[in-house]
């Protein structure tokens, strides 16, 4: 072994070994196994005909031009209804242990059916949505190709949407490059922020590839969180009082893009979010400089955003049920 190769190997081992002890891991690019299904799901994701009005698509509230969110406290839905809770980002959502803030959907497929039938979101029903798709030859062909069935089913619709959503990981964030050994990928301030993020204890909940999404935690663990929002959290699913006000820990990936923050979307700045979290969850009052360092670190978590051509939707026909805004 020549010296140059040996040094490089030591570098890799050191970096790899350092990586293994970090509470945060890099996100890896996703390789879709069924590209036809992904393309079908992408069309469905952008298609407002899955809503009663013909105006609202998955992308309306999980906007892939805006970090997979709508950047509003709670979403606007059918008939301009305001939703009960902040729309979480769809980016990296395949890494979540469950879907929705209260985890009531076990996976992306189960989640995808929720908004379609929610009167305050897309305001439709599963059977009506399928009826629309059945009349559109471009969809009929695509479903037949992917599922080799004669009739479209809602399970196929949500399966295809989930397959598309699984592609929406955001690798190559500056912080991931740093984790992989590129010391110059993030600033010294961000490095100090990451050290503090760990020492303060944020990584107790915000860890793993997604820096969150892998546990439920009480909002207001040390001090109570005050909100007008009525969401009960995990207790609405388990029926257990001990789970009241427990929510799925949100991912911090792309957090610079996913404002406003918390399940009620009440906080708009990362500085305030860090300040509140440290005090309410960890009982620590951070200094402005410390907050600034952590925010600098959080801004290194923005990875590669969705990168694909705007899908073209197959046109309706004379048989297609018409949109109903009322």
User: Which residue ranges are tagged as binding site for heme c?
Assistant: 58, 61-62, 78, 202, 205-206, 277
213 to 252: interface string for a copy of itself, x by CB under 8 A: ----------------------------------------
Which has the closest alpha carbon to 152: 175, 124, 133, 176?
133
Q: Is the peptide bond before 260 cis (omega within 30 degrees of 0)?
A: yes
| Residue number, 201 or 292, with CB nearest to a copy of itself | 292
Answer yes or no whether residue 161 interacts with a copy of itself by CB under 8 A: no
Check binding of 312 to a copy of itself (CB under 8 A).
Answer: yes
Q: Verify binding: residue 194, a copy of itself, rule CB under 8 A.
A: no
State yes or no: is 110 an active-site residue: no
Closest separation between CB of residue 164 and a copy of itself, Å? 13
From residue 62, alpha-carbon distances to 57, 108, 112, 156, 176 in Å are 9, 13, 12, 20, 24
Nearer to a copy of itself, 235 or 320 (CB): 320
Q: In this chain, which stretch among 59-67, 137-145, 184-192, 241-249 interacts with a copy of itself, using CB under 8 A?
A: 59-67
Question: Alpha-carbon distance 147 to 156, whole Å?
Answer: 8
Residues 19, 169: Cα–Cα separation, whole Å: 20
Q: By CB under 8 A, tell whether 48 contacts a copy of itself.
A: yes
55 binds a copy of itself (CB under 8 A): yes
DSSP one-letter string for 2-39: -HHHHHHHHHHHHHHHHHHHSSB-PPPPP--S-HHHHH
Of 147, 153, 64, 74, the closest CA to residue 115 belongs to 74
Smaller CB separation from a copy of itself, 214 or 316: 316
- Which range in 21-29, 60-68, 152-160, 286-294 contacts a copy of itself by CB under 8 A? 60-68
User: Which one from 39, 121, 290, 293 is the annotated catalytic residue?
Assistant: 121
Query: Helices in 94-238 by DSSP H: which ranges?
Result: 108-117, 126-134, 137-147, 154-166, 174-179, 188-200, 235-238
Selected from 71, 125, 215, 238, the binder of a copy of itself by CB under 8 A is 71
Among 65, 149, 199, 289, binds a copy of itself (CB under 8 A): 65
Q: 258 to 277, contacts with a copy of itself by CB under 8 A?
A: 259, 268-269, 271
Q: How many residues bind a copy of itself (CB under 8 A)?
A: 41
Classify residue 74 by its DSSP letter. Answer: S
* DSSP letter string, 52-67: SSS---HHHHSBTTTT
Interface stretch with a copy of itself, choices 43-51, 125-133, 162-170, 228-236 (CB under 8 A): 43-51
Specify whether the CB–CB gap between 256 and 225 falls below 8 A: no
Neighbours of 134 (CB within 10 A): 15
Decide if residue 32 touches a copy of itself (CB under 8 A): no
DSSP letter for each residue of 275-293: HHHHHHHH-----HHHHHH
Q: Which residues are catalytic?
A: 121
Residues lying near a copy of itself in the complex (CB under 8 A) are found at 46-49, 53-55, 60, 63-67, 70-72, 76, 79-80, 82, 256-257, 259, 268-269, 271, 305-313, 315-316, 318, 322-323, 325
């Amino acid at each position: 072994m020549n010296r140059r190769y040996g040094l490089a190997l030591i570098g890799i081992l050191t970096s790899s070994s350092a990586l293994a002890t970090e509470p945060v891991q890099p996100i890896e690019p996703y390789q879709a196994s069924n590209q036809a299904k992904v393309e079908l799901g992408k069309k469905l994701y952008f298609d407002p005909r899955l809503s009663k009005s013909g105006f609202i698509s998955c992308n309306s509230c999980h906007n892939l031009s805006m970090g997979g969110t709508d950047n509003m406290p709670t979403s606007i839905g059918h008939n301009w209804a305001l939703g009960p809770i902040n729309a979480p980002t769809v980016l990296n959502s395949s890494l979540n242990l469950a879907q929705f803030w209260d985890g009531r959907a076990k996976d992306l497929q189960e989640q995808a059916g929720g908004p379609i039938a929610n009167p305050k979101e897309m305001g439709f029903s599963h059977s009506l949505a399928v009826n629309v798709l059945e009349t559109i030859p471009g969809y009929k062909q695509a479903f037949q190709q992917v599922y080799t069935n004669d009739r479209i089913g809602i399970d196929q619709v949500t399966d295809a949407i989930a397959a598309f959503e699984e592609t929406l990981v955001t690798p190559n964030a500056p912080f991931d490059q740093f984790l992989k050994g590129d010391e110059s990928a993030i600033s010294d301030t961000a490095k100090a922020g990451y050290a503090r993020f760990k020492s303060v204890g944020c990584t107790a909940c915000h860890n793993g590839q997604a820096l969150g999404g892998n546990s439920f935690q009480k909002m207001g663990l040390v001090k109570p969180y005050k909100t007008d929002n009525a969401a009960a959290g995990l207790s609405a699913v388990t029926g257990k009082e001990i789970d009241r006000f427990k929510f799925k820990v949100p991912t911090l990936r792309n957090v610079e893009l996913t404002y406003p923050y918390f399940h009620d979307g009440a906080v708009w700045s990362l500085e305030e979010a860090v300040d509140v979290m440290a005090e309410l969850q960890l009982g620590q009052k951070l200094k402005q400089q410390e907050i600034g360092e952590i925010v600098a670190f959080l801004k290194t978590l923005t990875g590669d955003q969705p990168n694909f051509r705007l899908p073209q939707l197959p046109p309706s026909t004379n048989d297609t049920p018409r949109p109903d805004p009322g």
